[in-house]
Structure 1
């Protein structure tokens, strides 16, 4: 039409790229082509016309959560002849979808937040089973405690062997804060629901009070996201997946997912997290300037249990038997329960430490025994070894367990008990547990039975001599006068 102002109809049509006949038709009709599009109508009758307004719409208005397939089943029950099959299912699903978009209830809106330096830190537990990590060939069931600063993304990760308990949260959160060297204004968790999911109301309230006291010690505001609203904890939820992907890729590069000791796996995690944190140094420096200083001392991050040492040479904590030196029989111990260990105190003196064990769901008692605690009594009563309920827990290494299996098979019970107790006594008396284990393995490989008297001469003698003369310089007493003058 612009060219038509200067050229003839034929030339203008040619310049526009269509025929002269089309040009005549366009000039004869004052409407634009876009305005002449006919309204598209239905090509087939509406199969829901008779039931939508009268039967289905009232149900949707009463409860918009009803599914389209539920409405279809309702139609089939109400009129089986009109709706004998599911051919109208897709039509009904589109109709319900469009109705919800126009008339449905209001939906939640996620407001993206701009994090402030030093404002918020978040913690969460994430299951690490999919990583397939094994310790000595045995699959490791564990979780990862994940602490993240919202602004810089600085993170602290710890291996958690038990559940999502308050002890695991407090201990690892406290380690994260002291590793960071500062305290954020607010700490957010996922409502701590996992910490007291199986507890009664009083126990759950106690966990909440302890958590609030913990945050008050560090001057942090304790906040929690609403149950079921994971996006409110999104800064750490997203990092959980990134962390596990990074660990999985690092394990692929390592070529093996098996570790000799649990500490090796913990060290592997720490090294990977340290590398990830180095990439955030600039943001971390900005955030460190806004963090609050740490308090003078740490606070309680364990659960305390009082237990009495029984005549069986141990005490119970959460249905697990832990051994103790026989001198403590009859004494009441205060036991500090951490996620990975227990520490027992007599008064203010720590007297027993054990790696923490968890009770079994089938009710069978779990025993954690240090053979050094009972070896003196066992040496006086070697025959008690065979029937002891915690016999298998006495053996410090697999080589000692193999020795007992060989001895108990080849010798009478009396001789087998005596030889095995002698081996344990030798390991204790000479402080050669690892070295003796190697000798026992060699003897068993030769098809022989280990005996303490034969193995003792093969041990590397311990150095018992005292060190040589050590010069000692006595302090001049007159130097203390300078201290007195300084005080004056």
Structure 2
């Protein structure tokens, strides 16, 4: 047709119809004019075969510059970006102008396709059901999650089955460590109800960081023992090659985007406590697994059975309670009841808590602390552990190393600062200790904090006598017991009856 180029498809149709029809009829059936049909009959080549090589329509803006200056730059630094080469060429030859950028980029791309270095190839894999489970950690700081009004610095441990896409996420408060990996992995396996034949992680470089060789060897042995307990073959990808762990690295982004969307739908990223945030993550991951329920069930059928019990998912250290009423672990000082001073305790370190045992008896659980980002030591203090001793020596509060950690709520610290500014230091310390003792003895920590906050907002000091009266035991709540004493004759009657029976 006029104004339209003949295509290879039309040419093939024309040649096919030409075998049985005249030129005019074959041209009409191929949507060609008779004149075009006679022209094609004389030259049966396809139109694509007749196109000549397009020549340059304007002078080369780079000229000999590409071979003399640009190619040596690419060869000397293969990773150099085209925009950097462009800026360098403009610095050397400002007369060329910014219009050469696209030409330069196309020329560099073509040169690298012909003469560039060989690149790494990613080999897509066919995943076998029940074979591979993968673990990795991902940082969640950019989501801005807060717990009890404080930013939550945390990571997610992420487990995934390569075949079915089953996922499990576990909130990790510390860094990447064997404890976090062991706890998260075992939670995932027991939630799944089976064990894959192979477990793959990254190089665990974060867990090995700052460890000496004996500690690295010990960590490697513990990881291998964990996998052996579940009958899994441990494998790792090479350091710095995240795509070798691609079956979990890619879903990291999908999971984080899903969490970000859920936080937006929730209209806030603030949570009252850590269990509420963990429940939020579990619910989200559960909904994602529900979409793959059929595929997960089919893979679950070929998984290995779970062992009779979980393996060790904690580190155990032995500590001695010092005269300061506590012990130190990993640059953190923890207070304990003073009756334990001088005793040696067994401490099991989990990612978010410490279980304290004496011998084989579990005593209590403490929240796990972390050293400060600058490397300084920190403290985890429970004022109930030291309040009885502090009442005997209230002035110790003034320069106490962990004074700021001693106050269970901000209102107590504000009250201390207000009394310290208005009263002598000895009196301020004694009144503050009395407030802490009142909170402990009467079990009114939160209610007392509310009263102290109200006093602080009103600009008045706490009245310890009024607070003691307010939080004193309610006389109406104490039952009145009337004891009726029997007469001595009743006892004589009992003794006489006993004597008669004996006779």
Tell me if both proteins adopt one fold, taking TM over 0.5 as the criterion: yes
- The yes-or-no answer on 1:155 pairing with 2:167 is yes
Is 1:100 the counterpart of 2:112? The answer is yes
For the residues of structure 1 that align with 2:256 and 2:172, how far apart are their CA atoms?
Answer: 15
**Corresponding residue SS for 1:40:** coil
Distance in 2 between residues matched to 1:464 and 1:327, nearest whole Å: 34
**CA contact under 8 A between 1:435 and 1:459: conserved in structure 2?**
no
User: 2:356 aligned with 1:344, yes or no?
Assistant: yes
Contact 1:385–1:391 at 8 Å: present in 2 too? yes
Deviation at 1:125, TM superposition (A): 0.9
Q: Which one is further off, 17-26 or 139-148? A: 17-26
Which residue matches 2:407? Answer: 395
1:262 aligns with 2:274: yes
The correspondence for 1:188, drawn from 200, 210, 215, is 200
Counterpart of 1:310? Answer: 322
How far residue 247 of structure 1 moved from its aligned partner, in angstroms, is 1.4
Do the aligned partners of 2:353 and 2:366 also contact (CA within 8 Å) in 1? yes
Structure 2 counterpart of 1:413: 425
1:375 Cα deviation (Å)?
Answer: 0.9
* Residue number in structure 1 paired with 2:496: none
Q: Does 1:378 align with 2:390?
A: yes
Specify the alignment match of 1:138 in structure 2: 150
Q: Aligned runs of 1:68-467 on 2, under 5 Å?
A: 90-91=102-103, 93-459=105-471, 461=473
TM normalised by structure 1 equals 0.82
Please identify, of 226-235 and 455-464, the stretch whose mean Cα deviation from structure 2 is larger: 455-464
CA distance in 1, matches of 2:279, 2:78: 53
Rate the CA distance shift 1:308–1:451 in 2: closer, same or farther, 3 A.
farther
Q: 1:424 to 1:74 in 2, by over 3 A?
A: closer
Cα distance in 2 for residues equivalent to 1:176 and 1:59? 51
**Aligned partners of 1:464, 1:157: CA distance in 2, in Å?**
52
Residue 52 (structure 1) shift? 7.0
Residues 349 and 7 (structure 1 numbering): CA distance in 2 closer, same or farther, change over 3 Å?
Answer: closer
Q: Which has the larger radius of gyration?
A: 2
Q: 2:54 aligns with which of 20, 36, 40?
A: 40
Distance 1:6 1:121 in 2: 64
Cα 1:464/1:409, change in 2 over 3 Å: farther
Farther off after superposition, 282-291 or 388-397: 282-291
Residue 398 of structure 2 aligns to a residue whose secondary structure is: helix
- Comparing 431-440 with 334-343, which one deviates more in the overlay? 431-440
Distance 2:301 2:25 in 1: 75
Q: State how far apart, in whole Å, the 2-side matches of 1:446 and 1:304 are.
A: 49
Structure-2 separation of matches of 1:246 and 1:74: 43
Q: How far did 1:95 drift?
A: 3.9
> Given that residues 61 and 96 in structure 2 are in contact (C-alpha distance below 8 angstroms), is that contact kept between their aligned partners in structure 1?
no
SS at match of 1:147: strand
Superposed CA offset, 1:281-336 (max 9, x none): 22222222222222222222222333322222221111111112222223333322
Q: Distance in 1 between matches of 2:258 and 2:342?
A: 51
- Match in the other structure for 1:471: none
Note the alpha carbon deviations across 1:375-396, whole angstroms, 9 max, x for none: 1111111121122111121111
| Offset, 1:129 | 1.4
Alignment check: 8 A CA contact 1:120 1:149 kept = yes
TM-superposition CA deviations, 1:74-130 (whole Å, max 9, x none):
9999xx789977776655543443343345444333232232322211111111112
Partner SS state of residue 157, structure 2: strand
What is the Cα-based RMSD across aligned positions, in Å? 3.7
Residue aligned with 1:163, SS: coil
Aligned-pair distance for 1:369?
0.9
Q: Is the 8 A contact 1:336 1:343 kept in 2?
A: yes
How many residues matched? 464
Q: Where in structure 2 are there 5+ consecutive unaligned residues?
A: 1-14, 482-503
Alpha-carbon distance in 2 for matches of 1:453, 1:437: 16
Deviation at 1:27, TM superposition (A): 5.6
Identify the range of structure 1 (378-387 vs 175-184) with the bigger mean alpha-carbon deviation: 175-184
**TM value normalised by structure 2:** 0.80
> Is residue 326–residue 336 contact of structure 2 (8 Å, CA) maintained in 1?
yes
CA–CA separation in structure 2 for the residues paired with 1:75 and 1:421: 74
Name whichever of 281-290 and 153-162 sits farther off.
Answer: 281-290
CA distance in 2, matches of 1:398, 1:69: 54
